[in-house]
Amino acid sequence: MTIRNIATQPIPGQKPGTSGLRKKVTAFMQPGYLENFVQSIFDSLEGSAGQTLVLGGDGRFYNRAAVQTILKMAAANGFGKVLVGRGGLFSTPAISCVIRKTGAFGGIVLSASHNPGGADGDFGIKYNIANGGPAPEKVTDAIYTRTGTITAYRISDAPDVDLDAPGTHTIENMTVEVVDPVADYAELMQRLFDFDAIRALFARGFTMRFDAMSAIGGPYAKAIIEGMLGAPAGTVVNGEPLEDFGGHHPDPNPVNAADLIGCMSGAAAPDFGAASDGDADRNMIVGRDFCVAPSDSLAVLAANATLAPGYRDGLAGIARSMPTSTAADRVAAGLGIRCYETPTGWKFFGNLLDAGMATLCGEESYGTGSNHIREKDGLWAVLFWLNILAATGKPVEAIVREHWARFGRNYYSRHDYEAIDSAAADALVTHLRAQLPSLPGQRLDDYMVETADDFSYTDPVDGSESQKQGVRIVFAEGSRIVFRLSGTGTEGATLRVYLERYEADSSKHDISTQTALAGLIAVAGRVADIAVRTGRNAPTVVT
Ligand code: VG1
Ligand code: CO
């Protein structure tokens, strides 16, 4: 075995977005593409010599090859040990769990998460720091800067490691330990939730359908829900991780998980439905003929948190991303705790969790989590719901309706315009920004603008600042429209329009969401000139 120094040159565009670097898998497979980025990560770290790294991915196309390359590069860059999931697999929450549990230096997550996979799909890579969470912007900025000056990468010419053989292997002076990707995570879940009560619920005949969308959530859901909690075999469907996710788009929402939504309708429907995304950090919660909006899910979990053993002592605070509905704020106010508003992306929750300022966090994009790890966690949310269902004996819909009756309902929807022209998207945002000073005090149809700004965030823990995180127009009585461009897409630009309207009156909680928001949708279209500027008459995806 020898370590080689391979000459390379900077490859433009290796800028991490909302959650790591995501590109078409064909881009990642270009010579030096992955290597340049990985070397830039390693060059940006201080004190990594002899340290432990955790490594794995969601099993999408190119996962195995990328794991082998990174192992050889980690050895050549002086790491002492790498813990890699069997088969090169780890869900994003499980990597976070293992980094924390083993006190590792950091981790590398291979995933493009909710983006499609396969030979024509997307690939991604993300660095996580010692707290188990995604690297903050200070670190990702340093990595990106390094990609612009890199001249060589270091790699061992050792043979491939047998990733299917649990146990210890060596590359140069580095140990590679192939570990069970599920065990530590399952053990943590067992400590947070009342497994006895959930087991008794299933024993009473409670039925569930968990759709893992042929992604990495399957092995975790099978081991925990069917294995430890005794749900019948077959409760978890699409439970085998496939390189192309079986052609599914592993982004759990009612559009992409239409099959699950279909199964949750009618008299034969199971009591409870759930799905997770490519890397198993997102969750969708479904009752019989009833979809739970992610922002509502966060609020319901917060309001009922003390039913779960891991949260029995209550919450220190709640955090949500700015575009997420303010339903959680109402719960926080009721509990007398703070609700923090952060930019989009889980990396902004890390400091609040580390400082003990927030216990639960969530995003409107089907992401929920807590201080148990530093990533959002799909199965965690599903188990939390199961715990609540077991403790209350009520169906999903009743729990949500009672929540609305108590706190009011935040009608909420996100409209995505995918793969639009990048220049047109930028111009649309510029046009919105130009209107910001004149909007407050204006009446737009039925809505009076109270404030309008481009969201900027100052981290209350380290004072770091993030600007231009989304244009928001806030109306009297709490209605909002937020516009931002996606930072995870790989084709053109994606415009996200977030719409929210609060309704306190419980006799008005039965309107369909799009009808309830129709007035705001019209205002959004006009203010941003969406149809003309995007060339689209309707959004690509409505969630
Ligand atoms: C999207 C979501 C955001 C989420 C991010 C990563 O980002 O809106 O809330 O944190 O994906 O989720 P964007 O920039 O495309 O809006 V995942 O499951 O891809 O790690
Ligand atoms: Co994800």
What pLDDT, in 10s, does the model give residues 337-369? 999 999 999 999 999 999 999 999 999 999 999
What's the average model confidence in pLDDT over 194-218?
A: 97
Which of the ligands is closest to the CA of residue 126? Answer: 1
Q: Above 90 in pLDDT, residue 229?
A: yes
Instruction: State how far the Cα of 104 lies from the Cα of 136, in Å rounded to an integer.
Output: 17
pLDDT at site 318: 98
Q: Where are the domains of the chain?
A: 3-180, 185-407, 409-542
What's the chain's Rg over C-alpha atoms? 23
Check pocket membership of 367 for ligand 1, CB cut-off 6 A.
yes
In percent, how much of the chain has pLDDT > 70? 100
Please indicate whether residue 344, judged by its CB atom, sits closer than 6 Å to ligand 1. yes
What's the mean pLDDT in 119-144? 96
In this predicted structure, the answer to whether residue 66 has a pLDDT above a threshold of 90 is: yes
3-180 and 409-542 in the same fold: no
- Closest among 208, 186, 254, 183 to 386, alpha carbons compared: 208
Question: Residue 522: what are its φ and ψ, rounded to 5°?
Answer: -65, -45
Task: Find the length of the chain.
Answer: 543
Query: With contact defined as beta carbons under 8 Å apart, do 19 and 134 qualify?
Result: yes
Inform me whether the pLDDT recorded for 1 exceeds 90: no
Residue 534 Cα, ligand 2 centroid: separation in angstroms? 27
Measured in Å, residue 78 CA sits from the centre of ligand 1 at: 33
Mean pLDDT of the chain: 97
3-180: CATH topology: Alpha-D-Glucose-1,6-Bisphosphate; Chain A, domain 3 (3.40.120)
Q: Any idea what DSSP says for residue 61?
A: T
Q: How far is CA 69 from the centre of its chain?
A: 26
Cα-to-centroid distance, 114 and ligand 2 (Å): 5
Is the Cβ atom of 281 under 6 angstroms away from ligand 1? yes
Average pLDDT over residues 155-169: 96
Token match 């966090």: residue?
361
Pairing between strand 106-110 and 52-57? Answer: parallel
Fold of the domain built from segment(s) 409-542: TATA-Binding Protein (3.30.310)
CA nearest 436: which of 452, 451, 447, 448? 452
pLDDT attached to residue 248: 86
**Looking at residue 490, what is its pLDDT?**
86
Active site residues: 113
| CATH class (in words) of the domain with range 185-407 | alpha beta
Identify whether the C-beta of residue 73 lies closer than 8 Å to the C-beta of residue 39: yes
